[in-house]
């Protein structure tokens, strides 16, 4: 079997032997944890100690890219930012079995955060501000950029070129809608000169653990180079259900350690749209993994793509209106705006 087949069919022998080869003595007790991108297990070793072993999905990250993730975690730990870095055993943190890379973490007790409010918003803002402060100190070397060519367009091309949308008129409608949103993203980046730096990349509440020691950020698997607002929008309780003061509480903590320009908030909706596309491509790229068709049974149907397209059109229209209002407010000498001001391929 190749590494992908071993990954799809991990056996207890492979899982437990991976720990034994590092010098541990597993008791045989192990529990699969909630991860579909990688394979992650809670394993008990002697003296009731528990470890977490993570098998990286083959062909996603190479050794250098995983090493850069681990190095960033080490930087954060040295700065006493509460994150959970992998264990170093014999001078190494990346190991290999059956063509798969894997790493081991100590188990961190705590609970996943269901809701952020009040002083918790300030504390998490402080945590993220410290993370971004460290992120600015060095440049990314091997990880991707959250830009159009390397991140967004590749995802769109994979879906269109791979004929994942069988209805050709719907595929064209989807592609045009996405390209218009990409143009808005590029426009905001350029107009406000938004900086890129090392960020978490997938900072949602599922990757935030709270315990008696406080908050801790987990799972830097999507660590990349991008705008800091990417680490905000999945984490903050924005929208109709949020309090007007939620963002202010968060920024009170964040700005103790990192500067923040409120113009960067303009990127939130474009980033949501890019994630729609990236998420769909993420599923499509993993469709041969036996777990994915069962987890996403409606993926790829015409109903699925129609809903995605309508949602994207709605989000894009709201974004266009918001940016048009902002453009009028910041450029009072411009009395009329047309769609050509926002879309790179608008012909009407």
Taking the C-alpha atoms of residue 220 and residue 315, their distance in angstroms, rounded to an integer, is 28
Q: Read off φ and ψ for residue 80, nearest 5 degrees.
A: 60, 30
Which whole-number Å values give the CA distances from 77 to 82, 83, 119, 216, in the listed order? Answer: 7, 7, 24, 11
Chain CA centroid to CA 125, Å: 18
Q: d(Cα 317, Cα 321) in Å, to the nearest integer?
A: 6
CA angle 294, 298, 300 (to 5 degrees): 110
Q: Which of 13, 147, 161, 219 is catalytic?
A: 219
Q: Which of the following is catalytic: 202, 222, 231, 246? A: 202
Verify whether residue 345 is a known catalytic residue: no
The vertex-92 CA angle with 88 and 96, nearest 5°, equals: 115
Is 185 in contact with 156 (CB distance < 8 Å)?
Answer: no
Is residue 42 part of the annotated active site? The answer reads no
Burial 274-295, CB ≥16 within 10 A → b, else e: bbbbbebbebbbbeebeebeee
Residues with a catalytic annotation lie at 202, 219
């Amino acid at each position: 079997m190749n590494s992908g087949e071993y990954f799809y069919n991990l056996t207890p022998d492979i899982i437990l032997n991976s720990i034994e080869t590092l010098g541990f003595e597993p008791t045989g007790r192990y529990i699969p944890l909630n991860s579909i991108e990688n394979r992650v297990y809670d394993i008990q070793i002697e003296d009731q100690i528990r470890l977490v072993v993570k098998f990286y999905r083959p062909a996603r990250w190479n050794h250098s890219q995983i090493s850069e993730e681990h190095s960033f975690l080490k930087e954060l730990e040295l700065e006493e930012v509460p994150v959970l870095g992998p264990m170093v055993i014999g001078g190494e943190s990346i190991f290999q079995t059956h063509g798969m890379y894997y790493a081991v973490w100590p188990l961190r007790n705590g609970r996943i955060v269901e809701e952020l409010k009040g002083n918790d918003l300030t504390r998490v803002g402080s945590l993220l501000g410290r993370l971004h402060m460290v992120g600015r100190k060095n440049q990314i070397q091997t990880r991707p950029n959250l830009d159009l060519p390397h991140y967004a367009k590749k995802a769109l091309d994979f879906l269109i070129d791979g004929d994942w949308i069988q209805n050709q008129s719907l595929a064209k409608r989807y592609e045009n809608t996405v390209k218009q949103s990409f143009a808005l993203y590029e426009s905001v980046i350029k107009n406000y000169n938004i900086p890129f730096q090392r960020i978490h990349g997938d900072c949602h509440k599922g990757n935030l653990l709270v315990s008696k020691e406080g908050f801790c950020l987990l799972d830097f698997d999507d660590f990349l180079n991008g705008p800091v607002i990417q680490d905000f929008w999945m984490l903050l309780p924005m929208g109709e259900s949020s309090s007007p003061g939620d963002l202010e509480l968060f920024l009170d903590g964040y700005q103790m350690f990192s500067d923040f320009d409120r113009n960067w908030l303009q990127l939130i909706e474009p980033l949501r749209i890019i994630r729609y596309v990236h998420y769909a491509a993420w599923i499509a790229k993993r469709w041969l993994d036996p777990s994915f068709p069962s987890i996403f049974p409606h993926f790829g149907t015409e109903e699925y793509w129609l809903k995605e397209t309508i949602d994207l059109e709605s989000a894009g229209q709201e974004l266009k209106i918001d940016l048009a209002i902002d453009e009028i407010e910041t450029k009072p000498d411009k009395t009329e705006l047309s769609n050509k001001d926002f879309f790179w391929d608008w012909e009407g």
